[in-house]
Amino acid sequence: MQDAAVIDGRSVADSVVETVKQAAEELKQQTGVIPGIAVVIVGEDPASKVYVASKGKKAKECGFHSVQHTLADSTSEADLLALVEELNDDPQIHGILVQLPLPGHIDDGRVIQAINPQKDVDGFHVINAGKLTTGEVETAFVPCTPAGSTLLIERVRGKDLSGLNAVVVGRSNIVGKPMASLLLAANATVTVAHSRTPDLPAACRNADILVAAVGRPEMIKGDWVKPGATIIDVGINRIAAPERGEGKTRLVGDVAYGECAKVAGAITPVPGGVGPMTIAMLMANTLVSAYRHAGRTPPN
């Protein structure tokens, strides 16, 4: 059998960013409003620092007003909440993102719920989560990773997934649950699997669309995949790569790419699949927020 088509997340993300850039310029010309994003990072987590830097870089590329608040690991929850409040009140800021995870002494949930839902471009606030599950997406922010994954699925399967079985492995609030809501909204028949699911391979074999959001390197094997399935690999795992030299590492997804690509119809690579889409959708959400704040209808 022929290998699966590779779903090129980088090129789809580039086209999203190009559209955002143009729409940001139009908004500026028409209203003087420049979309503004604030990214807050607490502590020194190296992976978080890399993510935050690439978000800032992409925001600049889109012509956004972009600010980064870097706070010490010892920052108190009260001080972080005060900063969030300040950003909620700042008319130049349309999107607020607090990079997770936060240090152990800070309650992630309390901080996320303190963000004005109309500036919650990560889509993690309960108001936005509730709007997504009740189908009120016109005024919601949808979490960036599932939103980006949905665009990639659309490229392969179209917008209407009627008649297709979708299996999401993982049930986090950030990826698994919103992904399931989006698939359901597109008329797929959805199963959400997790660590207590008996016979996970059998559940996966039923999937026309298989979304892996687990955080376990190469867990999904080739013989778990239905021939012709569309695989979206959300996982980003850094593993040792002794073949590249001592102490070297490489990134892999939650899917054993080589063997799954032999069975699937289409598959996202890691890196270069879902990752770039997440950042592109963050820009898209910030743009939408700026349009809404300017009283304009956001572009589609």
Q: Which residues are catalytic, by number?
A: 55, 99, 122
* Of the candidate residues 19, 172, 191, 206, the single one contacting ligand NDP (CB under 6 A): 172
Residues 6+ apart with CB under 8 A from 165: 188, 189, 191, 206, 207, 208, 209
Q: What angle separates helix 274-293 from helix 46-61, to the nearest 10 degrees?
A: 50
Nearest alpha carbon to residue 213 among 263, 162, 148, 297: 148
d(CA 192, CA 168) in angstroms, rounded, equals 5
* Of the candidate residues 215, 272, 298, 299, the single one contacting ligand NDP (CB under 6 A): 215
* Of the candidate residues 174, 207, 211, 252, the single one contacting ligand NDP (CB under 6 A): 174
Backbone angles phi, psi at 133, to 5 degrees: -70, -25
Annotated binding site for NADP(+), which residues? 170-172, 236
Annotated binding site, which residues? 170-172, 236
Contacts (CB under 6 A) with ligand NDP, residues 50-79: none
x/- mask, ligand NDP, residues 222-251, rule CB under 6 A, reads ------------xxxx--------------
x/- mask, ligand NDP, residues 191-210, rule CB under 6 A, reads --xxxxx--x----------
Q: What is the CA radius of gyration of the chain?
A: 19
* Of the candidate residues 38, 153, 168, 175, the single one contacting ligand NDP (CB under 6 A): 175
Instruction: Choose between 276 and 291: whose C-beta lies nearer to ligand NDP.
Output: 276
Total residues in contact with ligand NDP, by rule CB under 6 A:
25
Reported as type and span, the H/E element at residue 145 is: helix 144-157
* Of the candidate residues 106, 166, 274, 282, the single one contacting ligand NDP (CB under 6 A): 274
Longest dimension (CA), the chain: 58
In terms of phi and psi (left: phi > 0; alpha: psi -120 to 50; beta: otherwise), the region of 228 is left
* Nearest distance in Å: CB 74, ligand NDP: 25
| Residue count of the chain | 300
Instruction: Choose between 83 and 95: whose C-beta lies nearer to ligand NDP.
Output: 95
Interacting residues toward ligand NDP by CB under 6 A: 145, 169-172, 174-176, 193-197, 200, 213-216, 234-237, 274-275, 278
